[in-house]
Structure 1
């Protein structure tokens, strides 16, 4: 169970990182679309100044700026809408962004097919998918890019300046070979990343397990003594909380008469009861049978009412488990006053617990 929890935590972190990259990936698509439009506008002024435009200005503006900008803008906007509003799996959203970039490259090669070098752009979507570390996504993106590259090269030309010659086809063939080589290189890179991820996961699992061992008491499941120390540091700047110290009555006799295994089971039962109400309280074990409970911003008499309920639940559970040996707990409560440190509150709660012990078993006292 512990390993599953650690693995789930690691996978959650990986999904968060993937979501972050998907957002950056979309921004790259947006920059590519905007940059293409800006470059074409700049090229228009350069060609116009050099009298190299082979068509009328209105046709040029429509053919090379207006139409591709509208198509690219629709692709980018549609991608954003799909990944934000559709309740899809993360893998499908990653695929949508990768496909959008491939389609952007397809539009650019159709519009500017006269320059065979633009077909190299299909390498970019393949490279960017490697960050997701999913081979299937990279392969599908690369193959889609190669198909669209060939389709763009042989379909009727949008650019009248495009001249199809033997050299043109050789350039396209070289572009396809580069894409295939890129796919092979990305495959090897993903193999390496997969091995590195496995090593990283093992290290993360060890780190998270160590953190849990340090932060939680292995027997009871509540916070450890070290976690309590960290909690006290946080409480130095907090106000309006209550500290409760809890102690089992005659715990030594439980160990002596029933055995230490039964004593451990009793402590586990206390931990379960404390963790059952984790929304209102944080519990820590700082001694053998001694626990500290922190209630933040309790309402009037809420701490006392909550602790008396805990006493009743514990007594009832012990009667069910050990009917011949009744067990109870005593508690001391202190509400933080203005200016008091966490350590001062702890001392006052300890004094209240001592007072409860003097009154007998199953008692609750405040100070």
Structure 2
């Protein structure tokens, strides 16, 4: 539990959630690549059995098995091995993993298309590689994947003749037409994906901006306008959280106020009284590094020391008293301030109301003497 609310905590949580989603999708993306390889292997085995036992096979069985089963499966297995090593590595950033998995997926598509390019439907295996990157909402990832997919498609179609049954685009008008249509579809899908990503990014930025505005508003509602520290509402929330979390760490709750503050207002005026409150609040905030400071009302302030024992809290209160006595007001050099403290220790299971009452009773005892510190002690 943090005593000092972090105004960026919720925004950071949004970014962390986006990162977690990307990480989950990265894992699924990797599994999809494995699924593609396994599915292709099953189809290749089935087609191999059918062709070997038919009269359509126009090459030897060993050559057929090497070209259409062993070679593409070997390339794909190597790709999966690289993917696996990258995904499981702790030394590689998540961004690098995303690029690697996305690019290797296009290499798998290239292997499948090159080996089975005689089937025109394999043109569109590259489309899946592009679409799978849209979840990352990164224009560069999708653009890189699209560019590599288009290059590999063109290279495989124009410069590699792996399957002799595949008609060349330079010899078949139908094949050329299918090739051009495939390029057009690839380009269109890539463009659509980039547009979708752009709007997804705008939506994400809008959600973060709205969250930031909400945090600023909530912070204003929990801030005291005069002193600039947390107000009573923030204190109630902090005590409620303390009660709900029921922490095992040491917590100390303190209440303090300026001695004879009414006399200061009556003698020096309310404007001077306000200056005293502002100076005292600033001193409390500066001195209490491991605590949250709240203005409860009037000249009464509360301090929630977290992960602190009573000895350390008492020492801090003494330091504040000494520094307050040294405070100088240029317009009122004769004005000297002192403060009293009441401290109570939080114990496991103690409710917030009882904790506040214990500190308040200690402060009451301190006010009898003034410029003193009292610690609440449980009755035996």
Q: What band does the TM-score fall into relative to the shorter chain? A: 0.7 to 0.9
Distance 1:99 1:314, change over 3 A: farther
Deviations along 1:136-190, one digit per CA (max 9) or x if unpaired, are: 4433432332222212222323445544343333222212111221233234334
C-alpha contact (below 8 Å) 1:243/1:334 kept by paired residues: yes
Task: Give 1:77's aligned residue.
Answer: 85
C-alpha contact (below 8 Å) 2:72/2:111 kept by paired residues: no
Structure 2 residue aligned with 1:177, among 174, 184, 188? 184
Distance 1:127 1:339, change over 3 A: closer
Query: Is the radius of gyration larger for structure 1 or structure 2?
Result: 2
Query: 118-127 or 47-56: which moved more?
Result: 47-56
Q: Distance in 2 between matches of 1:295 and 1:11?
A: 26
Task: Give 1:311's aligned residue.
Answer: 321
Q: Secondary structure at the match of 1:301?
A: helix
C-alpha contact (below 8 Å) 1:10/1:204 kept by paired residues: yes
Deviations along 1:212-271, one digit per CA (max 9) or x if unpaired, are: 123343444433322222222233334653221011223334445555555444434433
C-alpha contact (below 8 Å) 1:75/1:104 kept by paired residues: no
Q: Secondary structure at the match of 1:285?
A: strand
1:334 deviates by 1.8
Unaligned runs of 5+ in 2: 1-5
Task: Give 1:38's aligned residue.
Answer: 38
Q: Distance in 2 between matches of 1:224 and 1:247?
A: 15
Unaligned runs of 5+ in 1: none
TM-score, normalised to structure 1, is: 0.81
Indicate yes or no: 2:117 matched with 1:113: yes
Distance 1:20 1:300, change over 3 A: closer
1:79 deviates by 5.7
Distance 1:336 1:139, change over 3 A: closer
Q: Distance in 2 between matches of 1:11 and 1:93?
A: 24
Q: Distance in 1 between matches of 2:80 and 2:331?
A: 70
CA root-mean-square deviation: 3.3
Q: Distance in 2 between matches of 1:337 and 1:47?
A: 73
1:17 deviates by 3.8
Q: Secondary structure at the match of 2:34?
A: helix
Q: Distance in 2 between matches of 1:315 and 1:125?
A: 71
Q: Secondary structure at the match of 1:68?
A: helix
C-alpha contact (below 8 Å) 1:335/1:345 kept by paired residues: yes
Q: Distance in 2 between matches of 1:249 and 1:224?
A: 20
Greater RCO structure (CA 8 Å; 6+ sep): 2
Structure 1 residue aligned with 2:345, among 323, 328, 335? 335
TM-score, normalised to structure 2, is: 0.79
